[in-house]
Structure 1
Amino acid sequence: MSQCEVCGNEYHRPLLIKVDDTEHVFDSFECAIEGLAPRCGHCGCRIIGHGIEAGSQRYCCAHCARSSGVTGVADNAH
């Protein structure tokens, strides 16, 4: 049995996710997202998809990036 590092639940089939040289243990994808996904620099939501990186900040979408002063970004490319 392994213990989830987010919720503390002991689970017999944990998710083991290695980031760089550190292994993380979770009992669900929900806890893995909470434990590892970065937060948007504008609205604070967890970034589950690609998001947008500008400098050292990450944003969940072009709207949040533009609201923080980032230029030249769009959610849809035509």
Structure 2
Amino acid sequence: MPKCDVCGNDYDKAFTVTTYDDSGTFDSFECAIHALAPTCAHCGCRIIGHGSEHAGVFYCCAHCAKEAGVIGIDDRA
């Protein structure tokens, strides 16, 4: 049986996620997010939505980007 790269669980319904430079086997989306999702530079949460990016730095939302000093990012236009 495939084994999850994050938690080590042997699971018959495990799946593989492939990115441009890496891949991993996971037993749940939770483990895949833990391993692959970027982290907000301000609050540290995992970014599972679109988030915001400025100068190569990722934020989970416009609020966190603003708190970090980024100007011109809004949640709504």
Establish whether TM, by shorter chain, passes 0.5.
Answer: yes
Residue segments in structure 2 that go unaligned for 5+ positions in a row: none
Match of 2:70 in 1: 70
Aligned counterparts of 1:20 and 1:67: Cα–Cα separation in 2:
31
Please report the TM-score for the alignment, with normalisation by the length of structure 2: 0.94
Structure 1 stretches of 4+ with a deviation exceeding 2 A read: none
Q: Secondary structure at the match of 1:2?
A: coil
Match of 1:28 in 2: 28
Q: Count the aligned residue pairs.
A: 77
Q: Quick one: which amino acid aligns to residue 14 of structure 1?
A: A
Q: Which moved more, 1:16-25 or 1:38-47?
A: 16-25
Q: Quick one: which amino acid aligns to residue 45 of structure 1?
A: C
- Deviation string, structure 1 residues 14-51 (Cα, Å, up to 9, x no partner): 12100114221000011011110011000000000000
Residue segments in structure 1 that go unaligned for 5+ positions in a row: none
Match of 2:2 in 1: 2
The structure carrying a bigger strand percent of its residues is 1
Q: Secondary structure at the match of 1:75?
A: coil
Match of 1:41 in 2: 41
Aligned counterparts of 1:19 and 1:55: Cα–Cα separation in 2:
22
C-alpha root-mean-square deviation of aligned residues, in Å? 0.9
Aligned counterparts of 1:10 and 1:58: Cα–Cα separation in 2:
33
**What is the percentage of aligned positions where both structures have the same residue?**
56
